[in-house]
């Protein structure tokens, strides 16, 4: 694939995007969960490219997600930190990196994860969204005190 600019062409698995977001340095195997967190389904309009288990100097293997014509907000970006804290976000405009940023682990997550406790009030028809405090070991339900450990978070994403 021939591209312009200084970027090394060889090894690119997917075409560069003109406008949108490239999420790089995702922990190997987590790309599909990143896509899930971003709410991208088969019915959304964005063109999406996913590369998984790409060799990486820093990480041994990493995943990459490229999303055309959509620039992620800070809130969306920070949600990714829950499952891939080393991810980097590149906002692309006209084939160039317009902005590069890391992800910050948020202190509170709302509406992203369902509480696994069937007796929790957040699993009823009440007009609330789930609320979890982010702790070093996982997510703590603000309603019923249930804790989802870090390695179980992806299974509870709404």
Partner 1 sequence: MSFESAMARLGGTSLSVGSVEACSMAKGETLADTVRVVSGYADAIVIRHPKEGAARLAAEFSTVPVINAGDGAGQHPSQTLLDLYTIRQSMPVEGIEVALVGDLRYGRTAHSLASALFLYNARLHTISPKGLELPATLAAQLKEKGMEITEHDSIDEVIGDVDVLYVTRIQRERFPDSASYFNVASSYRITPELLAGAKKRLIVLHPLPRIDEIDPRVDESPHAKYFQQSRNGVPVRMAMLMQVMK
Query: Nearest 5 degrees, angle CA 33-CA 103-CA 26?
Result: 40
Give min distance, CB of 71 to partner 1, in A.
33
Closest approach, Cβ 33 to partner 1, in A, equals 23
SS (H, E, C) 30-82: CHHHHHHHCCCCCCCCCCEEEEEEEEECCCEEEEEEEEECCCCCHHHHHHHHC
Q: Using the minimum distance from each CB to partner 1, give the nearer residue, 38 or 139.
A: 139
**Please, which residue, 26 or 141, has the CB nearer to partner 1?**
141
Shortest reach from residue 22's CB to partner 1, in Å: 38
List of residues contacting partner 1 (CB under 8 A) = 117, 119-122, 124-128, 141-147
Which among 155, 30, 20 is positioned nearest to 96, based on CA atoms? 20
Work out how close the CB of 141 gets to partner 1 at its nearest, in angstroms, rounded to a whole number. 7
- Strand 131-135 with 48-56, pairing: unpaired
Considering beta carbons, is residue 48 or 147 the nearer one to partner 1?
147
Q: Which is nearer to partner 1, 92 or 109 (CB)?
A: 109
């Amino acid at each position: 694939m021939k591209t312009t600019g200084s970027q090394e062409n060889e090894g690119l698995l997917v075409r560069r995007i003109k406008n949108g977001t490239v999420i790089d340095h995702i922990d190997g195997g987590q790309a599909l969960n990143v896509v899930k967190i971003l709410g991208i389904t088969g019915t959304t309009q964005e063109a999406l490219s996913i590369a998984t288990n790409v060799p990486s100097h820093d990480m041994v293997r990493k995943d990459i997600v490229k999303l055309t014509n959509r620039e992620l907000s800070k809130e969306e970006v920070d949600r990714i930190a829950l499952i891939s804290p080393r991810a980097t976000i590149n906002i692309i405009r006209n084939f160039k990196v317009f902005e590069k940023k890391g992800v910050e682990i948020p202190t509170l997550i709302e509406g992203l994860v369902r509480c696994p406790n069937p007796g929790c009030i957040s699993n009823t028809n009440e007009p609330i969204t789930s609320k979890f405090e982010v702790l070093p070991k996982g997510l703590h339900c603000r309603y019923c005190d249930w804790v989802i450990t870090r390695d179980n978070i992806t299974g509870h994403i709404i």
